[in-house]
Chains A and B, each alone.
Chain A
Amino acid sequence: MGLSGFAFGVTSAGGGLTLPQTCVLSLLVFTGASQFALVGALAAGGNPFTAAAGAFFLGVRNAFYGLRLSQVLALPRGIRPLAAQWVIDETTAVTLAQPTRRSARIGFTVTGLSLYVLWNLTTFLGALGAKALGDTDAWGLDAAGPAVFLALLAPMLKTTTERAVAALAVLLGLGLLPVLPAGVPVLAAALAAPAVLYLEGRRRADRAQSDADDVREDAHGDMRGDAREEDR
């Protein structure tokens, strides 16, 4: 996150945003993928609302993280508006990995606070240092984003279902990239989750059906056996 905060600051300044604009983004948006998407779209000359829409769609996943976190953390209503800003990929991963509610709350707070400070500090340094670095791609900083996502994703790939969802999402995300506006393919890729769940449900229903058929056949077999015995 520190590295990618630095990468964000550099990218944002390189994309033509001023130092205050870059820092306000990290302070108020505080969700890396959305910030990267926004400055990318603005740098490409995108309309401010289209650019913001792409960033917003990327941020929608945080609502789903929040759904899971609110169950695990069981926060009082008054705290929720404060905690909301820290609902991001990293805090969700750490919190959901905790065995108890107490450790989940501690994990969420510690991760949220330290990442918030680190992300904003490194954004500031990155925006300042952008000029000094020159060509930032030469430093490989554009690989920080995907590496962060992969590190978050890896522990989630526990069963065949998760792997199938991930594989389908990659296909949708890359396949639709050339044809849909920026930010939309990621949303379309989210459909991999309900799609795989639907197929899984169908397969389970089929298996239940064939089990039922087996039972019926066994019953017929028994009846035939009984009939033969009666013949004798």
Chain B
Amino acid sequence: MNIWIAVAVTALGCYAVKLAGLLVPAGALERPLVKRLAALLPVALLAALTAQQTFADGHALVLDARAAGLAAAAVALVLRAPFLLVVAAAVLVTAGVRAMGG
């Protein structure tokens, strides 16, 4: 039951913020500062998410096979590989390093 409550609250909340973004009047974006901020916020959030999902284990910071996987993804990105290949590189290298006991 608790899980269903969490699922329902998350679904409602996440849909509400998505809709709010689309419904805010366009005039709110006319100011250059707001425009710059709206463009930079995803940069900050994605960077933090990437780092956390690579180096976080609960509340602790760790360096494990995921870091090697992310490095592989970075190399794939520099080589202009398509999206799927980037993700596949990360998954395969992470699995490979773990298989070798990393």
Which A residues contact B (CB, under 8 angstroms)?
Answer: 2-4, 16-18, 21, 24-25, 28-31, 33-36, 38, 42, 44, 47-49, 51-52, 55-56, 58-71, 75, 80-81, 83-85, 87-89, 92, 137-154, 156-157, 161-162, 165-170, 172-174, 177-178, 182, 185-186, 189-194, 196-197
Chain A, Cβ-Cβ closest to B70: A146
B residues in contact with A36, CB < 8 Å: 53
Q: Give the 5 A-B residue pairs with the shortest CB-CB distance, closest first.
A: A66-B21, A173-B48, A140-B95, A140-B94, A147-B90
B residues in contact with A47, CB < 8 Å: 2
Given A61-B42, A165-B47, A173-B48, residue A147 in contact with residue B73 (CB < 8 A): yes
B residues in contact with A150, CB < 8 Å: 46, 50, 70, 73-74, 77, 86
A residues in contact with B3, CB < 8 Å: 16-18, 21, 42, 48
A residues in contact with B7, CB < 8 Å: 21, 24-25, 28-29, 38
A residues in contact with B23, CB < 8 Å: 70, 80
B residues in contact with A83, CB < 8 Å: 22
A residues in contact with B58, CB < 8 Å: 44
Asked if A64 contacts B41 (CB within 8 A), the reply is: yes
Interface string of B79-92 (1 = CB under 8 A from A): 00001101111111
Which B residues contact A (CB, under 8 angstroms)?
Answer: 2-7, 9-11, 13-15, 17-24, 26, 28-29, 33, 36-56, 58-61, 65-66, 69-70, 73-74, 77, 83-84, 86-96, 98-99
Given A3-B91, A29-B14, A162-B43, residue A48 in contact with residue B21 (CB < 8 A): no
A residues in contact with B37, CB < 8 Å: 193-194, 197
Known: A33-B49, A49-B9, A146-B54. 4 other contacts (CB 8 A): A48-B5, A140-B90, A156-B42, A190-B48
Given A149-B46, A165-B44, residue A87 in contact with residue B11 (CB < 8 A): no
Asked if A178 contacts B59 (CB within 8 A), the reply is: yes
Complex CA gap A161/B40 in Å reads 9
B residues in contact with A142, CB < 8 Å: 53, 66, 94
B residues in contact with A80, CB < 8 Å: 19, 22-23
